[in-house]
């Protein structure tokens, strides 16, 4: 048996072996020692030694005996998904959702709050922490069970430092130490990313959704953003702001000013805030009787109100959604021609407009893209729903915890809990360009 103490750090080769075995068990590809040997090429003795270590530190557990296939029955191995908990938060422009997951991304509890991101980091994060504390208390989760924290923000994030970088709709957030604040609060390592990257990662990594690695996820909410994966790895870009298509210029119309201060941005013409703005104009000038009644009753118009009016047959509301879908489709056609993804997923609240909105996007993408690039493409609504950002945040943390450079530091202790300094900025910029597996 491999003799190791709590102060021992396994060598690189042994560490990679541990990580590979854990991944095989976590993913369900192999759940017995013979199958692990078959997948890795390791001999029986080496498998036994490594599995014993992983059992001893509490990362694996043994289950029932599997049915015999003619030889000796093999005992099933399971990854201990309940060995720790991940705190997660997805922050949007007008609200946030927080939750607690297990170590396989399963959401144990969650809660949504309406809250304006423009209120500033202190106000928003104080509220996020308050809700997380409440959830921890409700589930009676002690601090030493918190293995990490994952956060998604609605703007560019420098992944290496966990800090927002000049986010267009987040006044006061530039360079704010989100990671440092939450690491000190929960005595755990924290990773921060753009929220759409996490939505993309959640869809990509959830078993059973049938997605391959070349994926573009488009969130159409108050604003518009994209998450991109290549060969199963999340692409963040050199500084962590890849996919910010909402602020790509699609018009020279100087009368519509985006929240970022520029004109002609896609989200200023086709996002949820744009639908609400244009829908209110239809209500005020009498073009849409349905929206007019909604405005009289509620005093305001939302993108959801436009969706309801369109489903009720309001011609002007239908035109608004169709025009927005066509604008988004035109931008996606450029993405398709340039990147050639196999799947485009549409998420966010505006995606709830349904077939009409999706049809406008599809028609424009097919009409304006090269035939070869759309021959096998799938364009559909994202499937994970409101918890997809939390699931993606959990996968981000889990992937990072089991990455060799971090795994080596906490494996001897059996848990990364109480290690807020586990993650550090990479001076070579690797963290910003890093890709989540």
Sequence-ordered list of residues with C-beta below 8 angstroms from that of 147, at least 6 positions apart, any chain: 83, 84, 85, 86, 103, 188, 397, 401, 415, 416, 417
The answer, yes or no, to whether residue 265 has pLDDT greater than 50, is: yes
- List the alpha helices (DSSP H) in 210-302: 266-270, 272-284, 289-298
Q: Look up residue 311 and give its two tokens.
A: 């489903």
Query: Tokens 């169709």 belong to which residue?
Result: 322
Q: What's residue 431's pLDDT?
A: 45
Percent of the chain with pLDDT over 70: 92
**Mean pLDDT for the chain?**
88
Mean pLDDT of 93-106: 94
* 30 or 254, greater pLDDT: 30
Question: Strand ranges (DSSP E) for 85-223?
Answer: 85-91, 95-101, 107-114, 146-153, 157-158, 163-164, 190-194, 215-220
The answer, yes or no, to whether residue 291 has pLDDT greater than 90, is: yes
The answer, yes or no, to whether residue 5 has pLDDT greater than 60, is: no
Mean pLDDT of 180-189: 96
Element (H, E) at 347: strand 343-347
> How would residue 428 be classed by pLDDT, with cut points 50, 70 and 90?
very low
Q: What's residue 296's pLDDT?
A: 96
Dihedral angle at the C-alpha atoms of 369, 371, 372, 376, nearest 10 degrees? 90
* 274 or 436, greater pLDDT: 274
Q: What's residue 432's pLDDT?
A: 44
Mean pLDDT of 260-265: 87
Q: What's residue 72's pLDDT?
A: 59
Sequence-ordered list of residues with C-beta below 8 angstroms from that of 4, at least 6 positions apart, any chain: 10, 53, 412
Q: What's residue 74's pLDDT?
A: 72
Q: What's residue 152's pLDDT?
A: 97
CA atoms within 13 A on the CB side of 108: 20
CA–CA gap between residue 76 and residue 61 (Å, rounded):
9
Angle at 72 between CA 71 and CA 78, to 5 degrees: 120
Query: Tokens 């992983």 belong to which residue?
Result: 54
The answer, yes or no, to whether residue 399 has pLDDT greater than 60, is: yes
> How would residue 4 be classed by pLDDT, with cut points 50, 70 and 90?
very low
Domains delineated in the chain: 12-79 (1.10.10.10), 85-202+387-433 (3.30.420.40), 212-382 (3.30.420.40)
Mean pLDDT of 84-101: 95
**Which of 47-56, 85-94, 255-264, 364-373 has the lowest average pLDDT?**
255-264
Task: Note the pLDDT tens digit of each residue in 146-179.
Answer: 999 999 999 889 998 999 988 888 999 999 999 9
Q: Is 226 helix (H, G, I), strand (E, B) or coil?
A: strand
Q: Are 167 and 154 in contact (CB under 8 A)?
A: yes
The answer, yes or no, to whether residue 424 has pLDDT greater than 80, is: no
What pTM does this model have?
Answer: 0.87
The answer, yes or no, to whether residue 39 has pLDDT greater than 80, is: yes
Mean pLDDT of 335-362: 88
The answer, yes or no, to whether residue 375 has pLDDT greater than 60, is: yes
Q: What's residue 68's pLDDT?
A: 52
The answer, yes or no, to whether residue 133 has pLDDT greater than 90, is: yes
> How would residue 256 be classed by pLDDT, with cut points 50, 70 and 90?
confident
The answer, yes or no, to whether residue 437 has pLDDT greater than 50, is: no
């Amino acid at each position: 048996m491999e003799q190791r103490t709590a102060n021992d750090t396994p060598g690189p080769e042994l560490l990679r072996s541990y990580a590979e075995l854990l991944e095989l068990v976590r993913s369900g590809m192999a759940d017995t020692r013979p199958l692990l040997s078959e997948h890795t090429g390791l001999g029986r003795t080496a498998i036994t030694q490594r599995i014993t270590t992983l059992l001893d530190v509490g990362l694996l557990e043994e289950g029932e005996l599997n049915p015999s296939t003619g030889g000796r029955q093999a005992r099933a191995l399971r990854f201990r998904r309940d060995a720790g908990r991940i705190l997660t938060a997805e922050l949007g422009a007008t609200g946030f959702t927080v939750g607690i997951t297990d170590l396989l991304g399963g959401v144990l509890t969650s809660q949504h709050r309406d809250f304006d991101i423009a209120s500033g980091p202190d106000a928003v994060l104080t509220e996020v922490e308050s809700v997380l504390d409440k959830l921890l208390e409700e589930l009676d989760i002690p601090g030493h069970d918190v293995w990490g924290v994952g956060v998604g923000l609605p703007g560019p994030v420098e992944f290496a430092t966990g800090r927002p970088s000049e986010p267009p709709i987040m006044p006061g957030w530039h360079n704010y130490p989100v990671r440092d604040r939450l690491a000190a609060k929960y005595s755990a390592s924290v990773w921060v990313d753009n929220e759409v990257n996490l939505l993309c990662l959640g869809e990509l990594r959830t078993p059973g959704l049938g997605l391959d690695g070349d994926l573009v996820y488009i969130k159409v909410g108050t604003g518009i953003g994209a998450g991109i994966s290549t060969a199963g790895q999340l692409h963040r870009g050199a500084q962590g702001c890849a996919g910010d298509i909402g602020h790509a210029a699609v018009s020279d119309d100087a009368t519509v000013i985006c929240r970022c201060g520029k004109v002609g941005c896609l989200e200023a013409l086709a996002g949820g805030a744009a639908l609400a703005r244009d829908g209110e104009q239809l209500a005020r000038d009498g073009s849409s009787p349905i929206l007019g009644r909604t405005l009289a009753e509620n005093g305001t118009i939302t993108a959801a109100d436009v969706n309801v009016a369109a489903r009720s047959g309001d011609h002007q509301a239908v035109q608004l959604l169709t025009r927005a879908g066509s604008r988004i489709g035109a931008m996606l056609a450029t993405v398709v021609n340039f990147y050639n993804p196999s799947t485009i997923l549409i998420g966010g609240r505006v995606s709830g407009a349904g077939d009409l909105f999706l049809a406008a996007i599809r028609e424009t993408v097919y009409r304006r893209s090269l035939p070869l690039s759309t021959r096998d493409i799938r364009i559909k609504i994202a499937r994970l729903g409101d918890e997809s950002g939390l699931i993606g945040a959990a996968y981000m943390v889990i992937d990072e915890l089991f990455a060799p450079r971090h795994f080596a530091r906490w494996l001897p202790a059996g848990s990364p809990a109480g290690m807020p300094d586990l993650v550090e900025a990479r001076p070579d910029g690797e963290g910003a360009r890093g890709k989540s597996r």
